[in-house]
Each structure stands twice: as C-alpha cells, then as structure tokens.
C-alpha cells in the first residue's frame, strides 16, 4: 500500500442549502443544514483512505467540540491523525452557502495554521512515499517539500481557492504535480512580480517559479479535467454528467482519485477518469466528505 502524508487545513464545515443568496436587507430560506468535517487536506486524506491509500494527516484543530469530532471522524475513516495537533483556540470553521450551482464561503480562520515550519521534521516524511500539500503557511509547506525531496518522496501541491494570495515558489521548485482549477492555476503561474510579505502573501499577484518538469492538472467543474505533462503532452477527460447539488470538496475528491491511480503507476488518462468520477460523486451530495470506496467508484464507472 502507498503511504501519503497530506498537510494543510483541517476544518469544520457548516453547510446551508438556501433557496437563493440574499442581498443586503433581504432574507432567504434555509432548506437544509449540515455540519461536517472539512478542510482541503482533511478531505483529500479522507478520500485517499477510502481508495486504499494509507494517509497520514498533518495540521491543527482547536481544543473544542468541532476539533474533537473532526479528528474522531477522520480516524474512523482510516486517516492517521496523530499529526493533527490540538491547540488552544477555535477550530477553523467555514460557513458554506449553497444556492443552486453556486457555493459562497464565509471563513472563520481559527487555528488551522498553527503548524510552524519548526514543527515539522524529517520524521514526518520518513515512512511515506508521497507528500501532498494544500493551502497552508508558505514556510511550513516549503519545509515539508524540501524534506520530502531529501527523503526521496514525490510531491504534489493544490494551493486552493486562495492560490493568488500566497507565493509558493519554494514549494513549486520541488513539485512533481500541481492541481487546481483554471483560475487557481492562472493565479499560481502569474508572473506579475508583485511584492510579497514574509509569509509570501501578495496583493493581486504572485511571482512563482514554474517547474519545467511538473505535471499540471487543471480541473474544470462539470467540464472534467486536463493534465499537461512535459514528458507526454496533454491528456484530457470530459468528466461525468451528474445532478450536482453541492460541489464543495469536488476538487479534493478529484485529487484523491487522481493520486490513487498516479501513485499506483497508472496512466494519466485513467487517473483523470478516476479523478473525475470522484469529483462527480462528491458533487452529487451536500458536504465535502463523500463515500469514495472502491465499490461505489466501480459501480459509478460502469
């Protein structure tokens, strides 16, 4: 079995399915309300565990009820949560407003970036084959990427929705695979040369080193995904038609599906197909966590 370290956000999601997005001084009706574990790193780790990859999660939650529930549910799903620190404060909470095909997010940052670069070490990557990095402190991601390369692991990065706000140069130097939507990839590869602060944050653009040999995987919602490999060219898969009710976590499910095939030595076309199937399955239900076990996946692909 392949062992993967996934590092980044571990959150608590409150999803409200409403009839419409209210404007100022308006009120809309909530049709459904769900509370669940979320956060990109946690979602990918959960998906990988269902797909027979052994994930270890690195991140932080608060010393509150959501933090306890999040760790417990991930452990139940087969994720090693020993590296999820419990720190004083509130677990990061995202309030997701689902209206039709759109999802709007209000985020309470909480303590999901408590992990310092000094908190990670060679022991974190010693027993893994691959390291997947999601949005997090730039310094921590850089250190993990460097440690992973030193240990001979492959590395992937999915910077997420806030891709343009932080420069991941020091990570991009080490990656084998980059994931993102077209907007996120554009933000990541933007070479506008904007100034950055110590944490790599920019205003309106980034100056990111483009790795010559990294595989770039771009997801495109209902339109499927493409993968550009400098060694073998462009590959694409059109995705699957499903009745989407909430696309939260679809990108994370896609990453889990793609990685499960790629890490097993599968072809890019197959990785895209399985990634798209996982993304489509995630889109059919409310919430970021979905059942991606091999039986569900096999019957979907039939």
Applying CB under 6 A, the residues found at the interface with ligand ADP are 181, 219-222, 224-225, 239-240, 242, 244, 247, 250-251, 254, 276, 279-280, 283
**Quick one: CA torsion of 16, 10, 165, 130, rounded to 10 degrees?**
-130
- Minimum CB distance to ligand ADP, residue 37 (Å): 16
CA distance 50 to 46: 7
- Minimum CB distance to ligand ADP, residue 288 (Å): 9
Q: Which is nearer to ligand ADP, 69 or 244 (CB)?
A: 244
Q: Which is nearer to ligand ADP, 68 or 284 (CB)?
A: 284
End-to-end CA distance of the chain: 25
Q: Which is nearer to ligand ADP, 171 or 288 (CB)?
A: 288
CA distance 152 to 179: 21
- Minimum CB distance to ligand ADP, residue 285 (Å): 12
- Minimum CB distance to ligand ADP, residue 274 (Å): 10
Paired residues of 233 in beta bridges = 229
Write the DSSP symbol of residue 211.
P
- Minimum CB distance to ligand ADP, residue 252 (Å): 7
- Minimum CB distance to ligand ADP, residue 201 (Å): 21
Based on the residue annotation, tell me whether 252 is a catalytic residue of this protein: yes
Nearest to 9 by CA among 139, 122, 110: 110
Q: Which is nearer to ligand ADP, 140 or 219 (CB)?
A: 219
Q: Which of 129, 176, 246, 252 is catalytic?
A: 252
Maximum distance among all alpha carbons in the chain?
56
CA distance 12 to 150: 33
Q: Which is nearer to ligand ADP, 37 or 239 (CB)?
A: 239
Count of helix runs (H) and strand runs (E) in the chain:
9, 13
Q: Which is nearer to ligand ADP, 89 or 238 (CB)?
A: 238
User: Do residues 279 and 241 touch, judged by C-beta distance below 8 A?
Assistant: no
Question: What does the block give as tokens for 8?
Answer: 């980044």
Q: How many beta carbons lie within 10 A of that of residue 180, not counting itself? A: 23
Question: What does the block give as tokens for 192?
Answer: 């506008």
Strands 130-134 and 177-181: unpaired
Looking at the annotation, which residues are catalytic? 252
């Amino acid at each position: 079995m392949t062992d993967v370290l996934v590092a980044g956000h571990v959150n608590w999601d409150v999803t409200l399915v409403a009839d419409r997005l209210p404007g100022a001084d308006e009120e809309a009706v909530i049709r459904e309300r769900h509370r669940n574990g979320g956060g990109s790193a946690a979602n990918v780790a959960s998906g990988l565990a269902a797909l027979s990859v052994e994930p270890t999660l690195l991140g932080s939650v608060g010393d509150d009820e959501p933090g306890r529930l999040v760790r417990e549910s991930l452990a139940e799903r087969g994720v090693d949560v020993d590296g999820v620190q419990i720190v004083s404060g509130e677990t990061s909470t995202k309030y997701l407003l689902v209206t039709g095909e759109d999802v709007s997010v209000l985020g309470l940052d909480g303590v999901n970036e408590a992990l310092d670069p000094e908190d990670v070490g060679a022991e974190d990557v010693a027993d893994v084959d691959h390291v997947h990095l999601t949005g997090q402190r730039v310094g921590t991601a850089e250190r993990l990427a460097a440690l992973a390369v030193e240990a001979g692991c492959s590395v992937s990065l999915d910077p997420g929705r806030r891709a343009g706000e932080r420069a991941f140069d020091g990570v991009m130097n080490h990656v084998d695979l980059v994931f993102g939507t077209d907007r996120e990839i554009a933000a990541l590869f933007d070479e506008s040369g904007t100034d950055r602060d110590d944490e790599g944050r920019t205003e309106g653009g980034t100056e990111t080193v483009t790795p010559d040999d990294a595989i770039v995987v771009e997801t495109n919602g209902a339109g499927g995904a493409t993968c550009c490999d400098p060694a073998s060219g462009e590959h694409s898969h059109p995705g699957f038609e499903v009745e989407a009710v909430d696309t939260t976590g679809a990108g994370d499910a896609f990453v889990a599906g793609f990685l499960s095939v790629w890490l097993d030595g599968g072809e890019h076309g197959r990785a895209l197909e399985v990634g798209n199937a996982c993304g489509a399955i995630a889109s059919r239900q409310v919430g970021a966590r979905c059942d991606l076990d091999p039986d569900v996946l096999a019957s979907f692909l039939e």
